Structure 1
Amino acid sequence: MPLLGGVRPPIAALLCVLLVVAAFTALALGTVHEQDVPQAVRDAERQIAEDAADSVGTSVNARAAAVRRAAASATPAGSGAPAAILRSFVPTEHPGQGAALLDPRTGRSLAASGETVPLTGVDVTSLARPGTENIAPRLASSGSAEPRLLLFARVTVPAPSGKKDENHDQAGDLADDQDPDERELLLVVSEKVAAPAVFGGGRTGQLVDRNGRVVAAANAAAALTPKAEHQAVPADAATAANAAKAALTTGDAAGSMLGDGPDGLRRVTGWASLAAMDGTDDTSDLGLTILTGRDVAPAREGADHTWFAVMAAGALVVIAVLVTVVLWGTMQRPLLRLHLSAARLARSASGTATAREQLARPVPVVAFGEIGRVGRALESIRRQLSGETGPEPARPVRPVRRRPGVRALVLVCVLVIAAWGVPLLFLLNRAPAEKAVPAVAVADQEARTEAAAERVRRSLDRSYTDLKAVASALSGASRERASEILRRDRADHPTYRSLYVLDRTGALALQVGKEPLRTLDPAPAGGGIRQVNTSGKIPAIAAYAQVPTAKKDAKTKDPKDAAPAVVVAEIGVDALDELVARPGLGSVWLTDAHHRVLAASVGFQAFQALPSRSLTRLVTRTDAAPGSAGSPASAVLHAGTATGGGQSVAAAAPLAQTGPAAGLGWRVVSAEPAAALKLAAFQVQARTMLAGLLALSAGVACLGWLHIVVVRPLRALTGCAERLAGGDHRTVLYPVHHDECGSVTRSLELLRQALVERDRGAMADVARVPAPSSPSGSAP
């Protein structure tokens, strides 16, 4: 008869799932092979190129914004001469290589300073047409000269006095919608393209244009003039340029390449598109690609895991077949025979002569567990129906020692499967992180941590430099003009949480943005960057610059009546969190001089200690000795980033050795879990653990299913059958399951009804027997 469930589906599912896990074990472990250069090293080089691209893009955007801000805040010279106007926008101490003032309508140069600004191939009239937004930087070159970065800004200057035709040659025609008293010119500043900042011993960095030409290089003097026997760098540059072009359509912004280096070394090269890393429009048209690389020694040939994979998969196949055969022989086959025997007895109890002949056939009884007990109960019921014997005597009240049943059998099967899965989950293929992580991967973590520290330092230096420009603009400005300058600078610097001015007494004179967490008291002299608090809920970091004394204030008689003031920019912690966070670097913390956390890429409390003492000891190694600068450090240690997280590749780097942030004593600390690196040892460990977990899960799930649908109903059925065989004919048996146990329960109910009918017939026969007559002659 067809059954909806029963004993067969769980056993068949267990066999199939275990065979699938065995196949997964053979394929997953057998396909892991040791590489001469691990994938983790190639990924790290790609991420280093991405970090360099982000740094270069941010620097270009900052320089472009600085030129636009200077053009907007400077006051044009009183005379209408273009040369004087250009000097008012570009001071002599400007770090740029050259500057020019152009007529945006004709593209004609009105004034120039410094070196010649290369405008070949640059359509000035289309760039500066009215209604367009900020003009993005351009990369221009002139003949064999080095390329120059062109930065643009629109400037509005007073119209020259005199007749229009007299000034036409210098200023050009006015635009249709332009004020007759003003004219709009185009300021162009040319700068040398800065080389990307790369870290790590032996690493080179190049800035490549879309034609594969190396524009700038760092730590690679030989890269620009390679020898005839080694042309790897130009070839890599061309390949990276082509890959960057393809990235415009495929969306891949970065990648890595592997080639041959000198003396049997392997050359690992990473590339990243500058515009894709930056994510803004200011660098989208430059077409630059960052190229980083280093020579690494190929790894020695490691262990082959094919043999282990085959042995583990074969052992699981044997266990799967063995468990299936045991369950089939001791549970599935006897239960099916019991189901057929109970159905035959139920049919034989119908009362016909043919059916009663079936009562002569004994019930086959197996001598194991609950199925055997149900079989013996059925045999007793058969004998009662055939009249061979009566109900079984009641069992003694004292507890009877039960033999192991089907529940113990299921538990043994679980233990057999666990004997295969537990060692894979906790013991086998465990690689010590100190030996599994190559030294080059640890060095790459240190280099990326140095890059993160450099990114924070540049951001702080840029904030201080821009703040000094704001301080110069505030000198002698009215209160309304000063408020406008502060608001504009606050809008240009999202990293500023608050921007305010302190007077000589330290009182708050002007403020834009949020309320300061803690003002500088007393007002400091000079300029720099200071950590304002050492406790509290939010770290307060402030950059400050002295406002130069205006000439009219310098002539006052009483120095106290002069108005020297300090402009302060409070840097938000959220901005620092974004600066230290980098993909693939793991958990990153920014700590103060006492190794307390100020910012982090993960959740933290202000001024808390690092997660583990090992990290604190690593940071201590970066402290500078008296009279020397601190140096970065890295190691494989337990970073305590997560409970049970294991070993991590950690690194620490001092924030700055020079500049306004040098006195802070800050450190950038990073920790990447070693298991997250794409190394063969950790891949084998992860896949081994996954195979053991799958086997345990499959065994527990399928055998738990078997326990629910077979073992528990069978144990309840055993009690019902034994009570019926013992003479309990009054308890009605209700089948619950549509399987073998349910079928046996229905047959037992039919047998119970047959026994009840037999008892009623026997009682009726007794009632029909006449009572014995009294002896004759007896008294009435």
Structure 2
Amino acid sequence: MPLLGGIRPPIALLCVLILALAGLTAKVLGPGTEPVVPKAVLSSQQYFAQDGAIALRASIDERVTDLERTATALNTGGPADPERVLSDLSKAYQKWTGTTVLDLESGKVLAARGERIPLAWLDKDVLTGDKALTPRMVRLETGDVRLMTMAVLDGKEGAQQLLIASNSLSVPSINLGPFRSMAVVARGGEVLATAGFEQSEALNSDAEREKLTFLQKQMSRLSDLAAEETEQNPVSAREPGSRGYPGVSGTLLGEDYNGRVATAGYASLAASDPEDGESVAAGLGLTVLAMLPVVQQQTVTEDSRQLFGLLAAGALVLLGLLAVAVLWMTVQRPLLGLFLESRRLARGDLIRPVTVPRWGEAARIGFALERTRRQLGGVSAPDGATDARPAGRFRGGARGPLALTAVLLLLWCVPVGFLLNRTDGTVSIPAVMVNDQRDRTDLVADRARRALNEAQADLVSTSRLIDTDDLAATERLLKDALREHTRYQALYVVREDGDIVARAGDDPHTWSAKKDRSLVRVSGKGERKPVVQTGAPVPEHEGMTLVGEVRVEFLNSLLKRPGLGEVRIVNADARTLAASDGFLAFEGLPSDALPDLVRAANVQVGAGPVENGLLIRHGGAVTVAAAAPFTGGGVASDLGWTVVSWQNAGQFEITAYEREDRSVLASLLGLALIVVCLGWIHLVVVRPLRALAADAEKLADGDLKTVHYPRYQDEVGAVVRSIELIRQQLQAHRQAQARRPAEPRPSAGGR
């Protein structure tokens, strides 16, 4: 018999797969040790650090780019007074802690605004060479670290001036919650800036102050570890073939204190997309570390669950043995008997009657073989026997045992998949997960608000260069600005009555300064996408406004963060303006609880997002949701917009959900086992066997013209070959009988 055909291989494979699935079930559903900290909590800290790194990287790159664009625009317009340069810069952007203009030849400070910038770090290497004018990190006398950004300005009479702007390296100013802290770490593990600890310094009890001291020590220790980890190559630090955060990120576990463990996530600053060019911030070697103490879980083995897993595996083995026994008794054994009987008849052994199986296709074939044996041997049927097929013995067929086998295996698959380890909304979601959803939503809201403020600030800076008397130059300026600022889809200058003076990009939408004085507007109801417009008055041209339409895709890209679920920006009426997934303009939120959450978030604007997270239980599903309004200043803070996020808690890496998923996986593997093995038997054995039964009965009924070809080289194929040999023998036997002359009758004289 061939090794890959017939009835034996699928039954053997069924046995092997049942044993393998039983072993897997005993392993994944058996002993279950709880981790010290749930994986979901660790992953959330990693995502939190990634969000902070993305926000810090975007902030640094935008400040560097804005300063370079401002210097380029000023140089194009000719030499400008240093005091006016700093004045215009402070009016357009409120992002630098200090600005200074100095003469490069003499080193004399020509103008200064804000925080005093030390100049001792300026030397020849900073101003010349391959890394000339590269941003530098400088520590002030107060101990704070500032990032110095530089650009060269053209002064009067060919002299050159150096524009220096300093800004802090602080993490985004958001509500981190109690005892959550974030830090910016340099190469070597030096902590450059922290956030979150100042919220705990107001605590008065000795225990709380002791806890704060412990967290500060853990921050220092984990910062060293994070800086060491981020020295890796981002490609080799990830799993082969995996995607995700472009930089190096991960999680760390610190020491425990009073039943709490310091958990941390870290992420290095990296460019969002390498194809967009290099990031200045990514080259600084900075790392963002997010730390949070969480309650330590007990790491004990659940003996009852271990026993339950072994019982499930034992039940599978028992039902599997019964299923294999059914197939062996009702399919394999009769088929092998038919193979031996048909081969005996094909060799000419017609003395012994054919052993006919009890039922099914095998019984039909056996009865047909017995009839052909009598025809070949010229033997009449025994007394009382008939060639008519007894109906009772042939009911059903080989499909019945297959169905019975499937039922036996389904008796294990269905309870395991639908009853075992079901959560049904009863799982206790850690409060940390709700807090992280709320705080990360607040971080996304802060980033989106800053992006809109930045868009309006860019327009303010560009509007100072507009000369409406030269429309050709104005359109060239708008085209250059549109090419540099990818967040816009259209730029245009409009009069107070809405007439377009100059434009670049897509078709403009209506803007009227008479009816609405707000600088950020939303329109486009009834259209495919909402239209977000920002404006800046053109100086010295009363009634004229430079308008930029922000691409909705740009806003959508700010909301796409792993581990946060679906994120949307909604207006005061809870209508969607942007989303991480597809959406319709101004569509409502999918759950009735989400608009209430948005309204509650806007009511608590003064208190921040402390209470703007909740669990939504509906049936057996649990949803974690959060909302964060636009707060913190700028033109975007007065819009009444809110970022709302929600995700199914079943996606969290919580032990109860993991066990439920493993149970479902075991059930699906069992179903796959049924489909593969029993489908194999049905296609290779049962269907050819039914066709063989019909052919054998036709042969027994006298059909000697039909030639029988084996479909597979297996037991059924061997029986088909034997039947073909028997057909040829019957054909030869009848031809011999037809050629035999009739015997003469004896004459009377011969008596």
TM-score, with length taken from structure 1: 0.83
| Identical counterparts, % of pairs | 35
Closer, same or farther in 2 for the Cα pair 1:77/1:653, shift >3 Å? closer
Aligned to 1:675: 650
Tell me by how many angstroms 1:205 deviates. Answer: 1.6
For 1:188 and 1:522, locate their aligned partners in 2 and report how far apart those are by CA, in whole Å.
36
Closer, same or farther in 2 for the Cα pair 1:208/1:735, shift >3 Å? closer
Any stretches of 5+ residues in structure 1 without a counterpart? 160-181, 349-357, 551-562
Closer, same or farther in 2 for the Cα pair 1:384/1:68, shift >3 Å? closer
Equivalent AA in structure 2 for residue 265 of structure 1: R
Aligned to 2:452: 460
Between 741-750 and 523-532, report the one with greater CA deviation.
Answer: 523-532
For 1:20 and 1:250, locate their aligned partners in 2 and report how far apart those are by CA, in whole Å.
33
Aligned to 1:322: 322
The 3-state SS of whatever aligns with 2:29 is: helix
For 1:659 and 1:151, locate their aligned partners in 2 and report how far apart those are by CA, in whole Å.
23
Matches within 5 A, 1:291-440: 291-299=289-297, 304=302, 305-348=305-348, 358-390=349-381, 393=386, 395=388, 402-433=394-425, 435-440=427-432
- Which deviations, in whole Å up to 9, do the C-alpha atoms of 1:377-410 show, x marking residues without a partner? 33343344444315974538x9878433322011
Tell me by how many angstroms 1:573 deviates. Answer: 0.8
Contact 2:172 2:443 (8 Å CA) reproduced: no
Contact 1:502 1:523 (8 Å CA) reproduced: no
What is the RMSD computed on CA atoms of the aligned residues?
3.6
Q: Are 1:240 and 2:226 an aligned pair?
A: yes
State the aligned residue count.
719
For 1:645 and 1:513, locate their aligned partners in 2 and report how far apart those are by CA, in whole Å.
49
Aligned to 1:157: 155
Contact 2:613 2:627 (8 Å CA) reproduced: yes
For 2:543 and 2:736, locate their aligned partners in 1 and report how far apart those are by CA, in whole Å.
122
For 1:410 and 1:676, locate their aligned partners in 2 and report how far apart those are by CA, in whole Å.
37
Tell me by how many angstroms 1:572 deviates. Answer: 1.4
Contact 1:244 1:272 (8 Å CA) reproduced: yes
Contact 2:365 2:692 (8 Å CA) reproduced: yes
Q: Are 1:210 and 2:202 an aligned pair?
A: no
Equivalent AA in structure 2 for residue 601 of structure 1: S
Between 198-207 and 705-714, report the one with greater CA deviation.
Answer: 198-207
Tell me by how many angstroms 1:477 deviates. Answer: 7.2
The 3-state SS of whatever aligns with 1:768 is: coil
For 1:140 and 1:467, locate their aligned partners in 2 and report how far apart those are by CA, in whole Å.
31
The 3-state SS of whatever aligns with 1:722 is: helix
For 1:42 and 1:107, locate their aligned partners in 2 and report how far apart those are by CA, in whole Å.
54
Between 408-417 and 298-307, report the one with greater CA deviation.
Answer: 298-307
Any stretches of 5+ residues in structure 2 without a counterpart? 202-208, 238-246
Aligned to 1:741: 716
**Corresponding residue to 1:269 among 245, 258, 264:** 264
Matches within 5 A, 1:91-130: 91=87, 94=90, 96-102=96-102, 108-109=107-108, 111=110, 113=112, 116-121=116-121, 123=123, 125-129=124-128
Closer, same or farther in 2 for the Cα pair 1:342/1:487, shift >3 Å? closer
Closer, same or farther in 2 for the Cα pair 1:143/1:607, shift >3 Å? closer
Aligned to 2:196: 219
Between 58-67 and 469-478, report the one with greater CA deviation.
Answer: 469-478
For 2:611 and 2:582, locate their aligned partners in 1 and report how far apart those are by CA, in whole Å.
24
For 2:346 and 2:468, locate their aligned partners in 1 and report how far apart those are by CA, in whole Å.
112
Q: Are 1:576 and 2:572 an aligned pair?
A: no
Contact 2:605 2:631 (8 Å CA) reproduced: no
Aligned to 1:13: 13
Closer, same or farther in 2 for the Cα pair 1:621/1:299, shift >3 Å? farther
Equivalent AA in structure 1 for residue 578 of structure 2: A
Contact 2:363 2:394 (8 Å CA) reproduced: no
Tell me by how many angstroms 1:155 deviates. Answer: 0.8
Q: Are 1:531 and 2:507 an aligned pair?
A: no
Matches within 5 A, 1:554-573: 563-573=542-552
* Higher Rg: 1
Closer, same or farther in 2 for the Cα pair 1:696/1:520, shift >3 Å? same
Equivalent AA in structure 2 for residue 238 of structure 1: D
- Which deviations, in whole Å up to 9, do the C-alpha atoms of 1:410-455 show, x marking residues without a partner? 1100111111112223332221345243221122112111111111
For 1:363 and 1:5, locate their aligned partners in 2 and report how far apart those are by CA, in whole Å.
25
For 2:232 and 2:718, locate their aligned partners in 1 and report how far apart those are by CA, in whole Å.
68
TM-score, with length taken from structure 2: 0.86
Aligned to 2:241: none
Closer, same or farther in 2 for the Cα pair 1:390/1:49, shift >3 Å? same
For 1:731 and 1:206, locate their aligned partners in 2 and report how far apart those are by CA, in whole Å.
86
- Which deviations, in whole Å up to 9, do the C-alpha atoms of 1:83-108 show, x marking residues without a partner? x943232239946444444565x794
Closer, same or farther in 2 for the Cα pair 1:626/1:678, shift >3 Å? closer
Contact 1:118 1:141 (8 Å CA) reproduced: no
For 1:447 and 1:497, locate their aligned partners in 2 and report how far apart those are by CA, in whole Å.
31
Closer, same or farther in 2 for the Cα pair 1:665/1:250, shift >3 Å? same
Aligned to 1:139: 137
Closer, same or farther in 2 for the Cα pair 1:273/1:35, shift >3 Å? same
**Corresponding residue to 1:503 among 495, 499, 504:** 495
Tell me by how many angstroms 1:315 deviates. Answer: 2.0
For 2:679 and 2:457, locate their aligned partners in 1 and report how far apart those are by CA, in whole Å.
69
Aligned to 2:52: 52
The 3-state SS of whatever aligns with 2:478 is: helix
Equivalent AA in structure 1 for residue 557 of structure 2: E
For 1:654 and 1:527, locate their aligned partners in 2 and report how far apart those are by CA, in whole Å.
18
Equivalent AA in structure 1 for residue 166 of structure 2: S
Aligned to 1:768: 742
Tell me by how many angstroms 1:61 deviates. Answer: 1.8
Contact 2:626 2:644 (8 Å CA) reproduced: yes
Contact 2:146 2:166 (8 Å CA) reproduced: yes
